[in-house]
Chains A and B, each alone.
Chain A
Amino acid sequence: MKELNINVHHVTRVEGHGNITVNARNGKLEEIIWSIPESPRFFEAMFRGRSYEDVTWMTPRICGICSIAHSTASIQATEAAFGVEISEQTLLLRKLLFHAETLQSHVLHFYFLAAPDFLGVGSVFPLVDTHTEVVLRALRLKKLANDLADLIGGRKTHPLTCVVGGFAKLPEVSELKAMRQKLVQAMDDMQETVKLFKGLEIPNFTRETEYIALKDPKEYAFINGDIASTDTGSTSINSYLDITNEFCVPHSTAKFSKHNRDSYMVGALARFNNNARQLSPAAQKAAEELGLKAICHNPYMISIAQIVETIHVIEDAINLIDKLTVRGLRGEKPPVKVRAGRGIGAVEAPRGILFHDYTYDDKGILVNANCVIPTNQNHNNIQKDMETLVPEIIDQSQEEITLRLEMLVRAYDPCISCSTHFLKVKFTQ
C-alpha cells in the first residue's frame, strides 16, 4: 500500500516561504497542507497616524515586485476618500506605468521561475547552455519593462513620480517615442516566446473554481472597474469585504479567503476567464495558438495566461503612447483638497486583485487602513487544488508527486513576503 511522507520546506522559485506537507499511510491520505510560516507584517498599523503624502511614498515599499500596484491602489484609495478627479493625461500615464509592472513581473515568472519546470531543469542556469537565446530574450524583455517603469515612474523599482491627483514629473514626448520603438521590437520577442511555450507540455489537471477579477465594460481591466466573479457577476469595489471574507487557519500565518465556493482564484487566469474578449488582437491570437480558452480550469495554465497578458500590455502600451504623443503632455497641478472620509482602491496586481481601504480625518491623517493582497486570496485555492490533485496522481512516485505540487504552487506565482532580505553571514575560519 502507498506510503507518502512529503515535507517541502520553503518551496523554491517563489517569493517568500511556503511549505507543503503530504502524508499517506496504507494508501490512505492523512494530511495535505499548504502552509505559510512567515510572520505577518501589519504595515497598515504603521500607516495609521501619517499624512496622505507619507502614505503615498511608503506604500510602494511594501513589496518589491508589486510596488507599482501598491502605489496605484494606495493613490486611488486616497483620491476616492478626498473626492479627487484625475485628468485624462494622468489616467493614460497611470495605465502605462501599470503595464510596466505587469511586464516586469510576468516575464520574471514565466521565464525565470516557471519555464525551468516545463523544460525539465531545476533552475534557469542550465538554460544558459541549452537555451542561450531564451535567457537573453528574457533579460531583454525584463530590461525593457524596467526602462518603461523608469521613464514614467522615475525609478526602475518603487515608483517616485506618482502622487495623489497626478504625476510630479512627466516624460518627454521624444522619450515616449523612443520607448514606442522598443515596445514594437519586443513584439518579435513575444512571438518567439509563444513559439517556445507552444511546444512545451503543460500538466493536465482540472478543478472547477470561482474566478475573481476587476471588470470594466470599456477595456481589459487593470486599474478600473467593478469586481467580477465567474459565479456571481459584478459587485462594486466598495463591497470588497463581501468578496474577500478573510479568515485564519491554524497552520498558516497568512489569512485565507473564500466567496461563493470553498475557495476562489485571482491573477492572470482569473482575469483571462472574466475578460478574455477584451484582449488585444495579438493577445487573442496568442491565446488561440497556446490553446488557452475561457473558462480554463487548469491552474498550470496561469503561466500561459501571463504570456497572453504580456502581449496585451505591450500592444496596449503602444496605443497609450500614441494617444499621449498625439495629445501632447502638459504640466498639471494635481487638484487635491483634503477632507475626512473613506476611500477604496482596487487594482489588478500581476498576481491578482489588490485592495487598499483608507479612512482619513479632516486634516488628511490616516486613521484606519486595510490592505488585502492577492496571494492571500489564492492560498485557499492552492490548498483545495492540492486536495484534488494528490489522489489523482497518488500512483506516481513520491518525487514526481512532490514536483507536481511544487509546480502547482509556482504556477500561482505567489508573493508571500518580499519585505525583508537582510544578509546573514556565517563567517568561516
Chain B
Amino acid sequence: MNGSRTAVTWKTSLQKQKGIMTEEKIYPKVVILGIGNLLLGDEGIGIHFIQTLDKDYLRHHNAETIDGGLCPEFASLVEDASKLIIVDAVKGGKPPGTTYRLSVDDVTAGLSPANLSLHYANILDSLKLLQKLGKGPQETVILGIEPQNMDWGLKLSAEVQEKLPELQAILSREI
C-alpha cells in the first residue's frame, strides 16, 4: 500500500506493556467505512461486517472503522484516510453470498443513470470532490456481498452471514 501521510509509529501490545520498543513499523491510515441500513436485512451488510472486526487488530494496523450508516456525505468523514475501504451490499447479479472486491473504476464503468443509486452518486461525488481538492484517500476499494433479502429485519440472511469470514479474509489482505 502506498502513501504514509498520516503514518504512525506502531508497537506490539506486549512491548507496550513492558515499556520497551524494539521494533517500529509504519502503517498509513486506513478507514473501513461500513454503510447500509441495519433495519433492512442484508442491506445492512456493511454495518454488520464492521461490528465483527477485531478492534485491537485494526488499531495495530492503524485502521479504524466508521459506521457510515445512511450518511449522504462522506467527504468530511474520510478526508484524512490514506486508504478507504467501503463495505456495502453489492447487487451484481450473481448468486446471493457472492463476495466482491471492486475498484472505483469498476463501479463507475458499469453505472448508468438508470441503475445509479443516488446514495452511491453521493459517495462517488464525495471521493471526486476530495480528489479535486488534493485531499482524501489515495486508494479506494469496495468490498461487498450479493444480498439475499433486503426486506425488514435486523439479521443477515444465512447465505450472507456465512460469507462474513470470507470477506474478513479479503479485508485482511487490504490492510
What are 30 A-B pairs with beta-carbon distances under 8 A?
A62-B39, A64-B69, A64-B70, A64-B72, A108-B72, A124-B125, A124-B129, A125-B125, A125-B128, A132-B133, A143-B76, A143-B79, A157-B71, A158-B69, A158-B70, A419-B37, A419-B40, A420-B40, A422-B43, A422-B90, A422-B117, A423-B107, A423-B142, A424-B116, A425-B90, A425-B91, A425-B107, A426-B111, A427-B92, A428-B110
**What 6 pairs across the A-B complex have the smallest Cβ distances?**
A64-B70, A421-B119, A426-B110, A422-B89, A142-B76, A128-B132
Contacts of A112 in B (CB 8 A): 73
Does B102 lie within 8 Å of A425, measured CB to CB? yes
Size bin of chain A's contact surface: 35 or more
Of all chain B residues, which has the CB nearest A46?
B152
Cβ–Cβ < 8 Å partners of B110 in chain A: 425-428
Measured CA separation A143–B66 after assembly (Å): 14
- How far apart sit A142 and B71, CA to CA, in the bound complex (Å)? 12
Find B73's partner among A62, A108, A129, A426 (CB 8 Å cutoff): A108
Given contacts A419-B39, A423-B90, contact A15 B72 (CB under 8 A): yes
In the assembled complex, the CB of B105 is this many whole angstroms from the nearest CB of chain A, namely 10
| Contact assessment for A61 and B133 in the assembled complex, using a CB-CB cutoff below 8 Å | no
Per the 8 Å Cβ criterion, residues 113-167 of B in contact with A are: 113, 115-120, 125, 128-129, 132-133, 142, 144, 147, 150, 152, 154
Rounded to whole Å, the gap between the CB of A365 and the closest CB of chain B is 16
Q: Which of B69, B75, B119, B154 contacts A157 (CB 8 A)?
A: B69
State A213–B68 Cα separation when bound (angstroms): 30
Q: Is B107 a contact partner of A43 (Cβ separation < 8 A)?
A: no
> In the assembled complex, how far is the CB of residue A212 from the closest CB belonging to chain B, in whole angstroms?
26
> Does B77 touch A at the CB level, under 8 Å?
yes
B residues near A (Cβ < 8 Å) are 35-40, 43, 66-73, 75-77, 79, 88-93, 100, 102, 106-107, 109-113, 115-120, 125, 128-129, 132-133, 142, 144, 147, 150, 152, 154
Min CB distance, B166 to chain A, in Å?
18
Is A37 an interface residue when CB atoms closer than 8 A count as contact?
no
The answer to whether A418 has its CB under 8 Å from any CB of chain B is: yes
Contacts A64-B69, A423-B89; A17 near B118 (Cβ below 8 A): yes
B69 touches A61 (CB 8 A): yes
* CB of A10 closer than 8 Å to a CB of B: yes
Within the assembled complex, what's the spacing in Å between the Cα atoms of A234 and B88? Answer: 45
Q: Is the CB of A63 within 8 A of B77?
A: no
**Proximity string of chain A (111-147) to chain B, C-beta cutoff 8 Å, 1 when within and 0 when not:** 0100000000001110011001001100100110010
Q: Is the CB of B36 within 8 A of A421?
A: yes
A155 interface residue, CB < 8 Å from B? yes
* Alpha-carbon distance A125/B107, docked complex (angstroms): 20
A60 to B115, CA, bound (A): 27
Distance of A427 Cα from B146 Cα, bound (Å): 14
User: Cβ of A58 < 8 Å from any Cβ of B?
Assistant: yes
Q: Judge whether A423 and B39 touch: CB under 8 Å.
A: no
Contact A135 B117, beta carbon cutoff 8 Å: no
Contact of A423 among B67, B120, B132 (CB under 8 A): B120
User: Quick one: which of B70, B90, B109 has the most chain A CB within 10 A?
Assistant: B70
Name the one of A43, A61, A129 contacting B70, with C-beta atoms under 8 angstroms. Answer: A61
Q: How far is the CA of A408 from the CA of B146 in the complex (A)?
A: 38
Assembly CA distance A423 to B110 (angstroms): 11
| Pairwise interchain contact B70-A418, C-beta atoms closer than 8 A | yes
Is the beta-carbon distance between A157 and B76 smaller than 8 angstroms?
no
Q: A125-B128, A422-B36 are in contact. Are A139 and B75 (CB under 8 A)?
A: yes
Is there contact, CB below 8 Å, between A419 and B142?
A: no
